[in-house]
């Protein structure tokens, strides 16, 4: 069985030759370490007055941005394949480098949705990026933003389709690209506005919130269409619906505001003959049955630091959802011992892999993930993941 | 006709009705009665305890916790000009901030709202706070508790840096240190030498209340 057959067999809740292993590799720090590449001190270069502006001008070229961005994911695919992963995730993003006095390094990425991404570097110069704040904190600013950015959304969708097509063409012969249409309607509706503001609007201006969600749902459906042009059989979508102790919104409210959006996303993917896997960080037990109801085929993440236990998830939703993930990235694949990794892999496989329907992976990407420990993880999966499990 | 403003204020907070809560508090203010102002502050404190309990029991979710905190904040802002001599005695001071390199403040701000309503004097240092700034604030304000928020795993090492700075300046033993944030855990608290990890804002404020209670 090859990597693709292994992944697709698991996606059908059937036992492959062994449990597939998926990488969530995307952080430059991890990729550089894996490929033995010296990081470019991007943040350091930005601090030089003339050079900073030159880099900004260069990156504002769509072609240059796409080449740079593709290069990172192409390297991630190459690194994941070389470690023996059967699949790796891939996501396209379009960002504009912007001078930002609020940012600690003086620059941030602004994305087309109206979100600011904090730019930082680790001690070796590897870049990392995290959502930091909203640009459209009022109704008026949001309306103006989406009107002005309409052409940018079109560019983004064209780029998304081209990115995933090329990735599948270049790497699909060695590893299965899990192409991700991110982000989803929940994150896209609150993050450009800010969570506190968005919460106020839910209670005070529900019609505006409905309008935002409808806009973002349409955009998300188009993003899914763009990703599916790559031809992959499995498509990822997602929204971080959980926080450390439970969902961010009451499940009934998630259903009321976003249920229709998620049903439409799953329906669209199914109409195209593909399977839809949903990513959500956080503690999401209270939403698992909704995921089944909305028509999702699988979920990816199940963050152990938010209390997600693979055995409990399997018991709750049985084989109604394919499960991907759950290995800890806060300690296990950062500093864990080989024995701890073997034990965790063995437990995950024992908890969720019988009868198929489980793809082993870490619960997320993480800049501190150690490639040696990822190698141990893959080796342990090969050792303990052969079907029949425990046989 | 009896004045039911305080009952209306409580209903506004617990039914998440901002308009009703603010209308009630404006009635209290219009009365110009200092004792009623103090009672209104107590209503906010008690109501947020109910909100916190609902959150911890899984009855309420983060958005409801946030919005209740926002209502309480607006109410307290309306009352604050009249609170000079009517406020409750402080449970002590909390110095709080998000560590250097991290700009996230949602969790921290919920703690600030709930801690203020629970009677703590809060010194909010904001986001992207350096170890030196944390240590200087501890030296200046002599807090009972230092709270540090850290969402990003990439900035987790900053927590240990702050605690080291406190130790170097002989300040560590004078206060409790609590950390919170999506990527953290009790293991992280042990690793960096904090006293506790709070998985959510309500638990964090509960810990602070226990620490500040008379022995």
Percent of chain A with pLDDT over 90: 85
State pLDDT tens for residues B136-176. 999 999 999 999 998 776 678 899 999 999 999 999 999 99
Are A244 and B128 within 8 A, CB to CB?
no
Mutation for testing the A interface, residue in B18, B62, B152 having most A CBs under 10 Å: B62
Name which residue leads in pLDDT, A269 or A368: A269
Say yes or no to pLDDT of A365 above 90.
no
- How far does the CA of residue B103 sit from the closest CA of chain A (Å)? 6
Are B154 and A243 within 8 A, CB to CB?
no
- How far does the CA of residue A192 sit from the closest CA of chain B (Å)? 14
Say yes or no to pLDDT of A320 above 80.
yes
End-to-end Cα spacing for chain B: 44
Confidence (pLDDT) at A391: 52
For range A136-142, the mean pLDDT: 96
Are A120 and B101 within 8 A, CB to CB?
yes
Residue with tokens 């909390």: B94
Q: Residue A86's domain spans which residues?
A: 3-27+82-93+137-384
DSSP-based helix, strand, coil % in chain A, nearest 5: 50, 15, 30
Q: Is A59 contained in some domain? A: no
Confidence (pLDDT) at B100: 87
Residue A331: list chain B partners with CB under 8 A.
Answer: 187
Q: Is A243 contained in some domain? A: yes
State pLDDT tens for residues A42-74. 999 999 989 999 999 999 999 999 999 999 999
Q: Is A353 contained in some domain? A: yes
For range B100-126, the mean pLDDT: 88
Say yes or no to pLDDT of A250 above 70.
yes
Say yes or no to pLDDT of B89 above 80.
no
Question: Which range, of A278-282, B86-90, B211-215, averages the lowest pLDDT?
Answer: B86-90
Q: Is A108 contained in some domain? A: no
**Pick from B18, B128, B188: which is nearest to A203 by CB?**
B18
CB-based burial of residue A22 (10 Å sphere; 0-12 exposed, 13-18 middle, 19+ buried)? buried
Identify the architecture of domain B5-82 in CATH.
Answer: Orthogonal Bundle (1.10)
CB-based burial of residue A234 (10 Å sphere; 0-12 exposed, 13-18 middle, 19+ buried)? buried
Q: Is A198 contained in some domain? A: yes
State pLDDT tens for residues A191-239. 999 999 999 999 999 999 999 999 999 999 999 999 999 999 999 999 9
Say yes or no to pLDDT of B85 above 60.
no
pLDDT-derived band at B86, boundaries 50, 70, 90: very low
For range A239-266, the mean pLDDT: 96
Characterize A5-16 residue by residue with b for buried, 16 or more Cβ atoms within 10 angstroms of its Cβ, and e for exposed.
ebbbbbbebebb
- How far does the CA of residue A179 sit from the closest CA of chain B (Å)? 25
Are B62 and A330 within 8 A, CB to CB?
no
The angle, 0 to 180 degrees and rounded to 10, between the axes of the packed helices B106-117 and B62-79 is 50
Say yes or no to pLDDT of A154 above 80.
yes
- B66 touches A at CB < 8 Å: yes
What would the two tokens of residue A210 be?
Answer: 């409905």
Q: Is A291 contained in some domain? A: yes
Domain ranges of chain B: 5-82, 93-212
φ, ψ (nearest 5 deg) of residue A370? -100, 125
Assign a CATH topology to domain B93-212.
Answer: Rossmann fold (3.40.50)
**Given strand A115-121, what is the order of strands in its sheet?**
A96-99, A107-110, A115-121, A127-134
CB count, 10 Å around CB of B31? Answer: 14
User: Looking at residue A168, which CATH number applies to its domain?
Assistant: 3.20.20.210
Task: Please give the tally of structural domains in chain A.
Answer: 1
Task: State the Cα–Cα distance between residues A157 and A62, nearest whole angstrom.
Answer: 12
Name which residue leads in pLDDT, A305 or A176: A176
Sign of CA pseudo-dihedral A78, A79, A85, A90: negative
Residue A120: list chain B partners with CB under 8 A.
Answer: 101, 154-155
Say yes or no to pLDDT of B83 above 80.
no
Task: State the Cα–Cα distance between residues A185 and A218, nearest whole angstrom.
Answer: 9
Q: Is A73 contained in some domain? A: no
Q: What's chain A's average pLDDT?
A: 95
A with B: how many residue pairs have Cβ under 8 Å apart? 82
ipTM of the complex: 0.92
- B73 touches A at CB < 8 Å: no
Closest chain B CA to residue A127: B154
State pLDDT tens for residues A287-305. 999 999 999 999 999 999 8
Closest chain B CA to residue A286: B58
Q: Which of A185, A190, A268 is nearest to A220 (CA)?
A: A185
State pLDDT tens for residues B186-206. 888 999 999 999 988 899 999
User: For residue B158, how many C-alpha atoms fall within 13 Å in the half-sphere facing its CB?
Assistant: 29
């Amino acid at each position: 069985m090859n990597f693709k057959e292994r992944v697709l067999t698991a996606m059908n809740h059937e036992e492959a030759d062994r449990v597939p292993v998926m990488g969530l590799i995307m952080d430059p720090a991890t990729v550089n370490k894996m490929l033995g590449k010296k990081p470019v001190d991007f943040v350091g270069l930005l601090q030089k007055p003339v050079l900073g502006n030159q880099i900004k001008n260069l990156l504002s070229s769509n072609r240059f941005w796409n080449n740079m961005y593709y290069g990172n994911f192409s390297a991630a695919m190459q690194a994941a394949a070389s470690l023996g992963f059967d699949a790796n995730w891939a996501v396209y993003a379009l960002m504009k480098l912007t001078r930002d006095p609020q940012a600690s390094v003086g620059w941030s990425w602004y994305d087309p949705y109206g979100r600011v991404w904090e730019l930082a570097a680790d001690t070796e110069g590897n870049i990392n990026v995290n959502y930091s704040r909203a640009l459209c904190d009022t109704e008026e600013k949001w309306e103006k933003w989406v009107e002005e950015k309409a052409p940018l959304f079109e560019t983004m969708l064209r780029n998304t389709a081209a990115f995933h097509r090329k990735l599948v063409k270049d790497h699909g012969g060695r590893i299965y690209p899990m192409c991700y249409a991110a982000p989803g309607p929940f994150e896209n509706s609150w993050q450009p506005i800010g969570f506190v503001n968005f919460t106020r609007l839910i209670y005070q201006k529900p019609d505006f919130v409905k309008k935002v969600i409808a806009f973002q749902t349409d955009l998300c459906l188009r993003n899914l269409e763009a990703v599916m042009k790559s031809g992959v059989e499995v498509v990822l979508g997602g929204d971080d619906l959980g926080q450390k102790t439970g969902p961010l919104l009451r499940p009934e409210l998630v259903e009321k505001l976003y249920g229709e959006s998620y049903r439409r996303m799953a329906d669209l993917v199914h109409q195209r003959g593909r399977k839809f896997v949903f990513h959500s960080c956080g503690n999401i037990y209270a939403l698992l049955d909704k995921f089944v109801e909305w028509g999702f085929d699988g979920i990816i993440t199940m963050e152990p630091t938010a209390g997600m236990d693979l055995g409990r998830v399997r018991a709750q939703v049985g084989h109604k959802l394919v499960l991907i993930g759950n290995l800890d990235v806060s300690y296990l694949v950062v500093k864990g011992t080989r024995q701890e990794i073997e034990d965790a892999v063995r437990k995950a496989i024992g908890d969720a892999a019988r009868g198929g329907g489980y793809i082993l992976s870490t619960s997320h990407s993480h800049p501190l993930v150690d490639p040696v420990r990822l190698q141990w993880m893959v080796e342990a999966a090969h050792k303990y993941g052969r079907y029949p499990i425990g046989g | 006709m009896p004045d039911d403003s305080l009952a209306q204020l409580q209903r506004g907070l617990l039914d998440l009705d901002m308009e009703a809560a603010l209308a009630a508090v404006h009635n209290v203010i219009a009365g110009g009665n200092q004792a009623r102002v103090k009672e209104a502050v107590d209503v906010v404190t008690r109501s947020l305890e109910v909100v916190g309990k609902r959150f911890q029991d899984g009855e309420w979710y983060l958005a409801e916790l946030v919005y209740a905190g926002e209502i309480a904040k607006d109410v307290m802002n309306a009352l604050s000009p009249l609170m000079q001599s009517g406020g409750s005695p402080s449970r002590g001071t909390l110095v709080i901030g998000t560590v250097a390199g991290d700009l996230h403040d949602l969790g921290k701000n919920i703690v600030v709202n709930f801690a203020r309503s629970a009677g703590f004097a809060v010194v909010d240092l904001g986001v992207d706070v350096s170890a030196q700034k944390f240590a200087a604030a501890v030296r200046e304000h002599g807090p009972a508790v230092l709270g540090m928020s850290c969402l990003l795993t990439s900035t987790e090492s900053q927590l240990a840096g702050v605690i080291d700075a406190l130790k170097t300046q002989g300040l560590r033993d004078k206060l409790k240190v609590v950390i919170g944030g999506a990527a953290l855990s009790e293991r992280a608290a042990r690793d960096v030498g904090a006293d506790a990890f709070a998985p959510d804002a309500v638990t964090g404020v509960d810990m602070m209340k226990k620490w500040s209670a008379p022995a």
